[in-house]
């Protein structure tokens, strides 16, 4: 038997090389080449729709009202997509094992099938019996939900052509393979070519597709980076699997905003929507405890109140330790330097730990002042008033800078019963009348107000 030819493909960009390379000459990433069998003949061309002079149309004459978005009935999911699923779009859902990728895909499929829409659920990792048992746990199975346990792309494409479903779910793309490619399922070439074939099929037939993708240890989608460029929308599930809350975030969306998030709670019956995330995140907040501060982060159009906790202890070693969970590590180091230099807190001989409760991740600069207040509260062992919300960006000079939509953030805090808000000094902002506003200009001034 002849020995198959081998090639090496970069997992990041898909660059192919006849020999192994430590660094990719195309994208510059290190240790990303994997070995796979090279096809004896070139890959077959993707199926193409017949094109001609009639295929070219004026953009102003293209009708858009004939294909409205299809709402799934799951409000948080539709919010992230921008109002629903666009017909003919390719949506990638990624996340860590146990985050809820298959769960949300099954719930979306069941909701659409219950509305007299034909939905095809392709399971490459389960049998049809196992898939049915999992869906029965999530709720009633509608008659319009079709199941197919298959890994062969040719068989899957034939089933899609025969049934013409409104939505097709592929769970997961790493288990699908093309027979004409000698590499194993899940390899770089298989994932890239299978996704490309599904993309052409979705655009040609106007069928929406929901693709489930695994992630690597680094938290990126397994397979070539070009996979994220092929699809129309990339959704990531965030949140610790040991916590009940899950956050669905769009990192790419050709048909909507990437600033919106959806908040879910994992339960025995699957994922349920959280109608008031701020109240849920603050439900177990300890009272009169140092090292705790409430901030208001803006996620798209939704203000979220979150609790930031910090613990400061003397270090028994010469090198103090800094640990961050849910906040940017480099941002924490910057704020510690500002507190040391501008506020007189001697943290060089103390270990500092900071985290956001509920498994959330905060990257909004408006949480800077709240994080600094939590660290200072833990260092001085003085609790922050539990009825106070804190917002403001902190500069290197120790100044507190203005944040966008400050009045909207404060209004959300007032709605949840907060009595005070420490905000940056600014003119022209119409604050709510039901909450006391305490403007501050520097970090030192804010700490004097909060820890007095």
44: in domain? no
Full residue range of the structural domain in which residue 171 is found = 70-275
Residues 230 and 103 in one domain: yes
Q: Do residues 290 and 392 both lie within one domain?
A: yes
Contact indicator for 185, 144 with CB cutoff of 8 Å = no
Considering the domain architecture, whether residues 263 and 301 belong to the same structural domain is answered as: no
In the prediction, which pLDDT does 335 show? 97
Would you say residue 62 lies in a domain?
no
Instruction: State residue 225's pLDDT score.
Output: 61
Examine the domain organization and report whether 76 and 194 are in the same domain: yes
Q: Are residues 292 and 430 in the same domain?
A: yes
Q: Is the domain of 236 the same as that of 300?
A: no
Residues 250-287 pLDDT 10s: 989 998 888 888 989 888 888 999 888 888 889 888 88
Q: What is the DSSP string of 123-174?
A: ESSS-HHHHHHHHHHHSPPPTTEEEEE--BHHHHHHHHHHH--SEEEEE-GG
Residue 51: pLDDT band (50, 70, 90) is low
Does residue 243 form part of some domain?
Answer: yes
Average pLDDT, the chain: 87
For residue 44 the two structure tokens come to: 């077959």
Task: Clarify whether residues 179 and 237 are in a common domain.
Answer: yes
Task: Give the confidence band of 214 by pLDDT, cuts at 50, 70, 90.
Answer: confident
Q: Tell me: do 95 and 29 sit in the same domain.
A: no
Q: What is the CATH number of the domain that holds 88?
A: 3.40.50.300
Using the predicted structure, report yes or no on whether residue 224 has a pLDDT greater than 70.
Answer: no
Which pLDDT band holds residue 1 (cuts at 50, 70, 90)? very low
Instruction: Give pLDDT tens digits for 84-123.
Output: 999 999 999 988 888 889 999 999 999 999 988 899 999 9
Check whether residue 441 and residue 354 sit in a common domain.
yes
Q: Which of 275, 296, 313 is the last residue of a domain?
A: 275
Residue 361 has pLDDT above 90, yes or no: no
Query: Do 113 and 246 lie in a common domain?
Result: yes
* Tens digits of residue pLDDT in 304-343: 999 999 999 999 888 999 999 999 999 999 999 999 999 9
Summarize pLDDT for 153-204 with one digit per residue, the tens.
999 999 999 999 999 999 989 899 998 888 788 888 888 889 999 999 999 9
Determine how many CB atoms are found less than 10 A away from the CB of residue 270: 20
User: What residues contact 256, with CB distance under 8 A and at least 6 apart?
Assistant: 80, 81, 82, 83, 233, 250
Structural domain includes residue 56: no
Separation of alpha carbons 241 and 101, rounded Å: 12
Q: What is the pLDDT of residue 227?
A: 79
51 domain residue, yes or no: no
Domain count, the chain: 3
Helix (H) or strand (E) holding 388: strand 388-390
Q: Does 59 reside within a domain?
A: no
CATH number for the domain spanning 358: value is 3.30.230.10
One domain, residues 257 and 321:
no
Task: Write the pLDDT tens digit of every residue in 127-158.
Answer: 999 999 999 888 888 988 999 999 999 999 99
384 shares a domain with 347: yes
In a domain, 127, yes or no: yes
End position of a domain, from candidates 275, 293, 322: 275
| Any domain includes 362 | yes
Determine the longest span between alpha carbons in the chain, in angstroms: 82
The domain boundary residue, chosen from 258, 275, 292 = 275
Count Cβ neighbours within 10 Å for each residue of 409-435 and write b for 16 or more, e otherwise.
Answer: bbbbbbbeebebbbbbbeeeeebeeeb
Q: In what order do the strands lie in the sheet with 33-37?
A: 16-17, 6-10, 33-37
Query: Going by DSSP bridges, is the β-strand pair 270-273/261-267 parallel, antiparallel, or unpaired?
Result: antiparallel
Backbone angles phi, psi at 168, to 5 degrees: -120, 130
Question: Rounded CA gap, 247 and 243, in Å?
Answer: 11
Q: What share of the chain is helix, strand, coil (3-state, %, to 5)?
A: 30, 30, 45
């Amino acid at each position: 038997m002849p020995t198959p030819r081998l090639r090496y493909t970069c997992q990041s960009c898909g660059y192919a090389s006849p020999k192994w390379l430590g660094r990719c000459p195309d994208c510059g990433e290190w240790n990303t080449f994997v070995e796979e069998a090279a096809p004896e003949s070139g890959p077959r061309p993707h199926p193409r729709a017949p094109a001609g002079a009639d295929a070219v149309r004026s953009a102003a004459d293209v009708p858009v009202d004939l294909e409205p978005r299809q709402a799934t009935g799951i409000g948080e999911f539709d919010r992230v997509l921008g109002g629903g699923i666009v017909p003919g779009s390719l949506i990638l859902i990624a996340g860590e094992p146990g985050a809820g990728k298959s769960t949300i895909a099954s719930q979306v499929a069941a909701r659409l099938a219950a509305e007299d829409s034909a939905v095809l659920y392709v399971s490459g990792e389960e049998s049809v019996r196992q898939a049915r048992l999992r869906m029965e746990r999530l709720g009633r199975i509608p008659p319009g939900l079709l199941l197919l346990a298959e890994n062969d792309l040719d068989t899957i494409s034939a089933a899609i052509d025969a049934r013409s479903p409104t939505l097709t779910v592929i769970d997961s793309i790493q288990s699908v393979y093309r027979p004409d490619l000698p590499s194993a399922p899940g390899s770089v070439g298989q994932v890239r070519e299978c996704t490309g074939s599904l993309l052409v099929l979705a655009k040609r037939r106007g069928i929406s597709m929901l693709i489930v993708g695994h992630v690597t240890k680094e938290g990126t989608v397994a397979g070539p980076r070009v996979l994220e460029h092929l699809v129309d929308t990339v959704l990531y599930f965030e949140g610790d699997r040991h916590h009940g809350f899950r956050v669905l975030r769009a990192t790419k969306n050709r048909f909507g905003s990437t600033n919106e998030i959806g908040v879910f709670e994992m339960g025995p019956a699957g994922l349920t929507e959280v109608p008031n995330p701020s109240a849920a995140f603050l439900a177990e907040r300890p009272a009169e405890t140092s090292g705790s501060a409430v901030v208001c982060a803006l996620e798209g159009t939704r203000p979220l109140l979150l609790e930031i906790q910090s613990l400061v202890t003397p270090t028994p070693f010469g090198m103090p330790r800094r640990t961050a969970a849910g906040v940017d590590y480099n941002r924490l180091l910057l704020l510690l330097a500002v507190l040391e230099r501008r506020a007189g807190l001697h943290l060089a001989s103390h270990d500092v730990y900071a985290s956001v409760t509920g498994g959330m991740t905060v990257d909004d600069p408006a949480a800077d002042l709240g994080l600094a207040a939590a660290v200072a509260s833990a260092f001085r062992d003085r609790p922050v008033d539990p009825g106070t919300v804190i917002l403001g960006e902190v500069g290197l000079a120790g100044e507190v800078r203005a944040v966008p939509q400050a009045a909207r953030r404060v209004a959300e805090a007032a709605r949840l019963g907060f009595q005070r808000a420490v905000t940056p000094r600014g003119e022209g902002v119409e604050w709510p009348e039901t909450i006391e506003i305490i403007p501050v200009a520097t970090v030192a001034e804010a700490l004097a107000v909060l820890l007095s």
